[in-house]
Amino acid sequence: MRPSTSPVRALLGKRDFYAGGLMVLLGLGIALKGSSYRAGTLMHMGPGFLPTALGVLLVFLGIAIAAAGLSAEGDEDQGVLPEQPQWWAWFCILMSPICFIMFGHYFGMALATFSCVFIAALGDKNATWLGTVILATVVTVFGVGLFSYFLQVPMPILTWRGAL
Amino acid sequence: MIGTALTDLWYGFGVALEPHNLMFCFIGVLVGNMVGVLPGMGPLATISILLPLTFGMKPVAAILMLGGVMYGAQYGGAICSILLNLPCHPPHAVTCLDGFPMTKQGRGGVALGLTVFASFVGASWGITEMIFLSPLLVRAALQFGPAEVCSLMLLGLLAGSTLARGSPIKGVAMTVLGLFLGSVGTDLETGSERYTLGMTELDDGIELIALALGLFGIAEFMNSVNQVAPINTKYTNVTFKDMRPTKADMKRAFFPMWRGTIIGSLCALIPGTGPTIASFVAYATEKKISRHPEKFGTGLIEGVVCPEAATHSSVQGDFIPTMSLGIPGDAVMALLLGALMIQGIVPGPQLISQHPDIFWGLVASFWIGNIMLVLLNVPLIGIWVKMLAIPYKFLYPSAMFFVCIGVYAANNDFFQVGEVAAIGLFGYVLLRLGFHPAPILLGFVLGPRFEENFRRAMLIARGDMLVFIERPISAFFVGMCVLLIGSQIYLRLKGAKAAELNVDDDAPIAAPAEPKIPVQLANQRVPVTPAE
């Protein structure tokens, strides 16, 4: 047993509190936006009927999740963040598709592939520049070959679209 | 009836043996096996990555290949759990318990050999079940009106979300979210825009591939990056010669294998209970009826073959509701169904009669694929074992490329690439909050059809909600739903005793929590309500 703290702090430390809260917020958003669409009647349902109902349901589920988290004893006090947050790696992984979009739009598939693999690989804590470049090059050669020549994805391999 | 089934099966073999179908089936099982072996990549991510590649294919070839990935991965996963003690895929978590001790005793090869054999038996049984049960189910399902379809879907969704991993109520929340995501885009009946936030790219709804790759690709990579422990390849020198079991081993494995098969095939019939639950139940049963239960966990062959046979028979059996009713039991099946829908094929009971080539070709390809897998796994075991050593730091960046190009190729539009990144981030937040995203996909795929049938049922019944309990078949499904929810609440209230229902003690749950497991498995707690 951990020493008892104030109930509010106990609540804020619970993962399920945030989980339930997120669902309530999502549900509220869905239901509010949904109420701007025509709901219709049960017999002739409009486009807003089902989504609004789902949003309301989600609000209730969120409350239930938070309540269940509150009642459960301390065995589930897993933090929201993992023990070793990998901010850099997460950033790299999320930047990878963004790079793919930017480079793909301006420079074509080859550079898009290279940049996408390169930045994702940098996220590994043991990444070296050389290893990353080699991996990105190999994937680029293979990927462009597969998707551009074999599967005919209509994206130029190399191009220049100038500043936009 | 048996006669017609066999004739249809014969026709199916004709389809599946067409050279190019055979080739794609082979590619599917090969990729599946490979992915199953690689730690840190799941069948869901792989099927979503391969999905865009199938757009240019014929529907039969596409579904044969994607199906092959799914059951191929199960074969590969066993190698990973037995030799490395890494349950790469949740169904194989219990295989580690006795498989890895066998490896330490130098009998890993025997365990693998018998696993391949047991898997084949389990799969064959599952396929047989599919051949004979599907037409029966279809005959019943063709009588269903919109009200029945609706309540059946409700049952499928509820079962899929509450019986799967983690907290049942969180699972239901994920399903509701999935249903909502399915309604984004143009409303089919009135043509009005819903939740597009002014983005015309969202008019056609959220892209299935972007959703799947975001949730099971990017979110998983974020979860496992820098968390996958380096692999200990000390025990991985297995050759073909080591795989031959002794007569005594075969004798001991025989009955557990059949028990596992039967348990797996029964689990497949209950909607929502996939291979993971089947393998846990099989292990627990085997332990319970064994004359020396205390020896389980020290390297008993029974503890390996029984759950593996159960996994495989349930994997094949899971195709029954998916193909004959159009109701997928888990996220992988939802993805396969989504692949069919992208090809313009409407899932449901009419699928078998309208597209017999797909259904019977798929059934026949299961057998062909399973034989291929036995051939691939037994003599080539050395190659698969070498693949275990591929580090994650090469794997996930390459996979990121496949994710990006895959969603791009779906519509040749960069918007979807941004969509996948956003969904990936959202999926990771959900993972960290203890949600399991698999039911989202289930809800997403069924959502539009659920809404359509719900509206139709209400129109026919003149807005009377009682129609769902007035029609007997529908009432039965609704009753099952109530029973399901009631039992969940009951188990929750009973607390600690709940675990007894599925797993007789903590061992199978506790064991996969050993240190070497990639992090994504840590929060995939398996059966119903975990022990408190």
Phi and psi torsions of B186, nearest 5°: -75, 130
- Listed in sequence order, the DSSP H helices in A46-149 are 49-71, 87-107, 109-122, 129-144
Spatial separation of the C-alpha atoms in residues B194 and A47, rounded to whole Å? 7
Three-state SS at B194:
strand
- Where residue A44 falls among pLDDT bands split at 50, 70, 90? confident
Query: What does the pLDDT read at residue B514?
Result: 32
Spatial separation of the C-alpha atoms in residues B450 and B347, rounded to whole Å? 13
Residue among B190, B392, B398 whose CB faces A139 most closely: B398
**Sequence-separated (6 or more) residues with CB below 8 Å from residue B226:** A84, A86, A89, A123, A124, A125
Task: Write out the two tokens for B177.
Answer: 């979210």
Query: What does the pLDDT read at residue A73?
Result: 55
**Sequence-separated (6 or more) residues with CB below 8 Å from residue A83:** none
Task: Write out the two tokens for B191.
Answer: 């043509």
Residues paired with residue A40 on neighbouring β-strands, in sequence order: A45
Spatial separation of the C-alpha atoms in residues A36 and A20, rounded to whole Å? 25
Spatial separation of the C-alpha atoms in residues B328 and B322, rounded to whole Å? 4
Question: In degrees, to the nearest 5, what angle opens at C-alpha B250 toward C-alphas B127 and B290?
Answer: 90
Residue among A55, A109, A135 whose CB faces B397 most closely: A135
**Sequence-separated (6 or more) residues with CB below 8 Å from residue B106:** none
For testing contact with chain B, the best of A24, A42, A109, A138 (most B CBs within 10 A): A42
Q: Do A50 and B451 touch (CB under 8 A)?
A: yes
Q: What share of chain A is helix, strand, coil (3-state, %, to 5)?
A: 65, 0, 30
Phi and psi torsions of B185, nearest 5°: 110, -165
Mind listing the pLDDT tens digit for each residue in B120-175? 999 999 898 888 888 888 888 888 888 888 888 898 888 888 776 678 888 899 99
Shortest CA gap A6–chain B (Å): 22
Spatial separation of the C-alpha atoms in residues A49 and A53, rounded to whole Å? 6
- Residue type for position A1: M
Spatial separation of the C-alpha atoms in residues B275 and B282, rounded to whole Å? 10
Residue among B173, B396, B424 whose CB faces A62 most closely: B173
Distance of CA B262 to the CA centre of its chain: 18
Shortest CA gap A56–chain B (Å): 10
A39–B contact, CB cutoff 8 A: no
Tokens 């909607």 correspond to what residue?
A: B271
* pLDDT at position A3 over 60: no
Spatial separation of the C-alpha atoms in residues B76 and A153, rounded to whole Å? 31
Q: Which of residues 61-100 of A touch B (CB under 8 A)?
A: 61-62, 64-65, 68, 72-73, 75-76, 78, 80-82, 84, 86, 89-90, 93-94, 96-98, 100
- Residue type for position B172: V
Mind listing the pLDDT tens digit for each residue in A49-63? 889 999 999 999 999
Query: What does the pLDDT read at residue B164?
Result: 66
Query: What does the pLDDT read at residue B98?
Result: 86
Chain B hits for A48, CB-CB cut-off 8 Å, are 194
Please tell me which residue of chain A has the smallest CA distance to B443.
A54
Query: What does the pLDDT read at residue B165?
Result: 67
Asked whether the beta carbons of B219 and B376 are under 8 A apart, the reply is no
Nearest to B442 by CA among B175, B181, B183: B175
Q: How many CB atoms neighbour CB B14 within 10 A?
A: 14
Distance of CA B351 to the CA centre of its chain: 21
Spatial separation of the C-alpha atoms in residues A17 and A129, rounded to whole Å? 42
Chain B hits for A94, CB-CB cut-off 8 Å, are 218, 222, 421, 424-425
- Residue type for position B484: L
DSSP code per residue over B153-199: HHHHHHHHHHSSSS-HHHHHHHHHHHHHHHH-EE-TTT--EES-TT-
From residue B255, alpha-carbon distances to B301, B342, B370 in Å are 11, 43, 21
**Sequence-separated (6 or more) residues with CB below 8 Å from residue A164:** A106
Low-confidence ranges of chain B (pLDDT < 50): 496-532
Residues paired with residue A45 on neighbouring β-strands, in sequence order: A40
Please tell me which residue of chain A has the smallest CA distance to B465.
A42
* pLDDT at position A163 over 70: no
Of the CA atoms within 13 Å of residue B25, those in its CB half-sphere come to 25
Query: What does the pLDDT read at residue B495?
Result: 64
Task: Based on DSSP, count helices (H) and strands (E) in chain B, helices before strands.
Answer: 24, 2
Task: Write out the two tokens for A111.
Answer: 């550079």
Spatial separation of the C-alpha atoms in residues B105 and B300, rounded to whole Å? 11
Spatial separation of the C-alpha atoms in residues B282 and B276, rounded to whole Å? 10
Mind listing the pLDDT tens digit for each residue in A125-146? 888 889 899 999 999 999 888 8
Query: What does the pLDDT read at residue A9?
Result: 63
Three-state SS at B46:
helix
* pLDDT at position A114 over 50: yes
Q: How many CB pairs under 8 A join A and B?
A: 187
Surface-to-core class of residue B492, CB atoms within 10 Å of its CB (0-12 exposed, 13-18 middle, 19+ buried): middle
What does the pLDDT average to over A144-155?
83
Query: What does the pLDDT read at residue B427?
Result: 94
From residue B329, alpha-carbon distances to A107, B75, B235, B321 in Å are 43, 20, 36, 7
Residue among A33, A68, A123 whose CB faces B169 most closely: A68
Instruction: Mark residue B175 as left, alpha or beta (left: phi above 0; alpha: psi -120 to 50; beta: remaining).
Output: alpha
ipTM score assigned to the predicted complex: 0.90
Query: What does the pLDDT read at residue A117?
Result: 93
Phi and psi torsions of A125, nearest 5°: -70, -20
Write b or e for each residue in B210-235: b if 16 or more Cβ atoms lie within 10 A of its Cβ, otherwise e. bbbbbbbbbbbbbbbbbbbeebeeeb
Q: How many CB atoms neighbour CB A44 within 10 A?
A: 15
Distance of CA A97 to the CA centre of its chain: 12
Spatial separation of the C-alpha atoms in residues B281 and B150, rounded to whole Å? 30
From residue B370, alpha-carbon distances to A58, B12, B18, B124, B190 in Å are 42, 15, 17, 8, 46
Task: Write out the two tokens for B503.
Answer: 């797993």
